[in-house]
Amino acid sequence: MTDAHTSPEFVTERIREAILSGDLRPGEKLHQDKLADMLGISRTPLRTALTALTQSGLVSYENNRGFYVREFSFSDVAGAFQVRAELEATACRLAASNMSEAAEQLLFELVEEGDRLLSPGSLSPENLVPYRRMNVGFHTAIMELAANPWIKTFVESLHNVPLASDRVIMWRDFYVIRRSHDDHHRIARALAKGQGERAAAIMREHITFALEHLHTQLEEYPEDFLRVPTADALSSKTRTRRRHRRPAA
CATH label of the domain that carries residue 30: 1.10.10.10
Domain of residue 140 covers: 74-225
Mean of the pLDDT values across residues 221-248? Answer: 44
Of 39-43, 120-124, 133-137, give the lowest mean pLDDT range: 39-43
pLDDT at residue 35 in the model: 87
Question: Under 8 Å CB-to-CB from 242, ≥6 apart: which residues?
Answer: 222, 228, 231
Please give the Cα distance from 228 to 162 (Å, whole number). 9
Q: What is the mean pLDDT of the chain?
A: 84
Q: 101 and 32, same structural domain?
A: no
- Is the confidence at residue 67, as pLDDT, over 80? yes
Mean of the pLDDT values across residues 123-147? Answer: 93
Our separate counts of H helices and E strands in the chain read 10, 2
Mean of the pLDDT values across residues 238-245? Answer: 39
In a domain? residue 79: yes
In a domain? residue 49: yes
| Residue that terminates a domain, selected from 69, 87, 106 | 69
Looking at the DSSP assignment, which residues form a beta bridge with residue 62? 66
Q: 115 and 163, same structural domain?
A: yes
Q: What is the DSSP string of 124-188?
A: -HHHHHHHHHHHHHHHHHHHHHTT-HHHHHHHHHHTTSTT-STT----S-HHHHHHHHHHHHHHH
Question: Where are any strands of DSSP class E within the chain?
Answer: 59-62, 66-69
Mean of the pLDDT values across residues 19-29? Answer: 81
- What tens digit of pLDDT does each residue of 77-103 get? 899 999 999 999 999 999 999 999 999
Q: 115 and 54, same structural domain?
A: no
Domain count, the chain: 2
Q: 31 and 99, same structural domain?
A: no
Q: 87 and 135, same structural domain?
A: yes
- What tens digit of pLDDT does each residue of 131-141 get? 989 999 999 99
pLDDT at residue 5 in the model: 62
pLDDT at residue 18 in the model: 81
Looking at residue 129, which CATH number applies to its domain?
Answer: 1.20.120.530
Predicted structure pTM score? 0.77
Return the percentage of the chain with pLDDT > 90, whole number: 49
Q: 14 and 85, same structural domain?
A: no
- Is the confidence at residue 162, as pLDDT, over 80? no
Q: 78 and 64, same structural domain?
A: no
- Looking at per-residue pLDDT, the higher value among 114 and 18 belongs to 114
Question: Under 8 Å CB-to-CB from 191, ≥6 apart: which residues?
Answer: 92, 95, 96, 99, 104, 107, 142, 145, 199
Q: 143 and 20, same structural domain?
A: no
